[in-house]
Amino acid sequence: MSGRLQDKVAIITGAASGQGAMETKIFLQEGAKVIATDIQNDLLTKKDAELRKEFGDNLLSITSDVTSEDAWVNIVKQAVDKFGKIDILVNNAGIGTTDKTSGLTDSTVEDWYRYMNTNAMAHFLGMKHVVPYMKKNGQGAIIDISSLASVQGIAGASPYTASKGASRAFTKGAARDLGKYHIRVNSVLPGWIVTPMMQQFTLNKEKLDALIKGIPLGYLGNPEDVAYAVVFLASDEARFINGAELVVDGGQSVRG
């Protein structure tokens, strides 16, 4: 049986944890070949060993930092050397509000650039290096993981919010630039999803209850909920969808 991403070659960043790890697994299940990258070497190596048992050589894991241009040159070279082409890029790696205090007046200029570099500039670097191969291939699909924060903001996390807004706007510009090459660029805007990034909220009952109250479905999302949205946008099922934002938030952003 053929998968929804059969024989497509995908680069997924932030693949050692949370949503990226789930996307890697489901992409492999759907028949893709995956280049899984993350800055956390030990966790990535562990995930690689687990998945390799089932998916063997369809997985290539590369420890790397998305903010390093040299790292992107290496990722793209290894991807093309091993699999011959690149069809999909998932710009998923990110740092969240648990990473460090990230409020407006207590953040430093260094904090600001850390968020902007990891959550937005890295999307530019990924595209810059992957797109030439997608052009050669005659098509491609890029999915940028932004956040519902880019629409609503998160109190106490202004630099994070700004970085996700930059990513969301960059997606739009890139969609306009790349459409003529049959390369589609779309955003996914997750709401509250249970991953290690969210632990400061999910491990605190009071904070968790407050979050759930704002979600019409009455529960937080799981990595699969986002991963299947990404699969859809990456697949040919979404062939006329370009420059869109797919909100995955249980209805949190709906206003009555």
- Active site positions, annotated: 160
252 binds ligand NAD (CB under 6 A): no
* Site stretch for ligand NAD (CB under 6 A), options 90-98, 105-113, 173-181, 206-214: 90-98
Q: Kindly state the smallest distance separating residue 40's Cβ from ligand NAD, in Å.
A: 4
Lookup: tokens for 212: 């759930």
Instruction: Please give the full DSSP string across 199-224, using - where no structure is assigned.
Output: HHHHT-HHHHHHHHHT-TTSS-B-HH
Answer whether 90's CB lies under 8 Å from 145's CB: yes
- Give the other-Cβ count within 10 Å of 196's Cβ: 13
Using rule CB under 6 A, residue 190 touches ligand NAD: yes
Minimum distance between the CB of residue 168 and ligand NAD, rounded to whole angstroms? 11
Instruction: Give the residue, chosen from 161, 187, 195, 235, that forms a contact with ligand NAD under the rule CB under 6 A.
Output: 195
Q: Which stretch binds ligand NAD (CB under 6 A): 50-58, 73-81, 105-113, 188-196?
A: 188-196
Residue 187 in the binding site for ligand NAD (CB under 6 A): no
Q: Where are the beta strands (DSSP E) in 66-202?
A: 88-91, 140-145, 183-190
- The Cα–Cα gap between 141 and 236 comes to 9
Binding mask 59-88 for ligand NAD (x = CB under 6 A): ------xxx---------------------
Task: Pick from 76, 116, 192, 234 the residue near ligand NAD by CB under 6 A.
Answer: 192
| Greatest extent of the chain over all pairs of C-alpha atoms, in Å | 55
CA proximity to 38, closest of 80, 66, 77, 2: 66
Minimum CB separation from ligand NAD for residue 21, in Å?
A: 7
Q: Which of 96, 140, 159, 250 binds ligand NAD (CB under 6 A)?
A: 96
> Which of the residues 122 through 181 are near ligand NAD (CB under 6 A)?
145, 147
C-beta of 187 vs 235, nearer to ligand NAD: 187
Q: What are phi and psi of 199, to 5 degrees?
A: -55, -35
Residue 211 tokens read as 């979050």
Alpha-carbon distance of 50 to 67, in angstroms, equals 27
Q: What does the alpha-carbon distance between residue 57 and residue 197 come to, in Å, rounded to a whole number? A: 29
Report helix, strand or coil for 244: coil
Using CB under 6 A as the binding rule, whether residue 20 contacts ligand NAD is answered as: yes
- The footprint of ligand NAD (CB under 6 A) covers 13-14, 16-20, 38-40, 65-67, 92-96, 118, 145, 147, 190, 192-193, 195-198
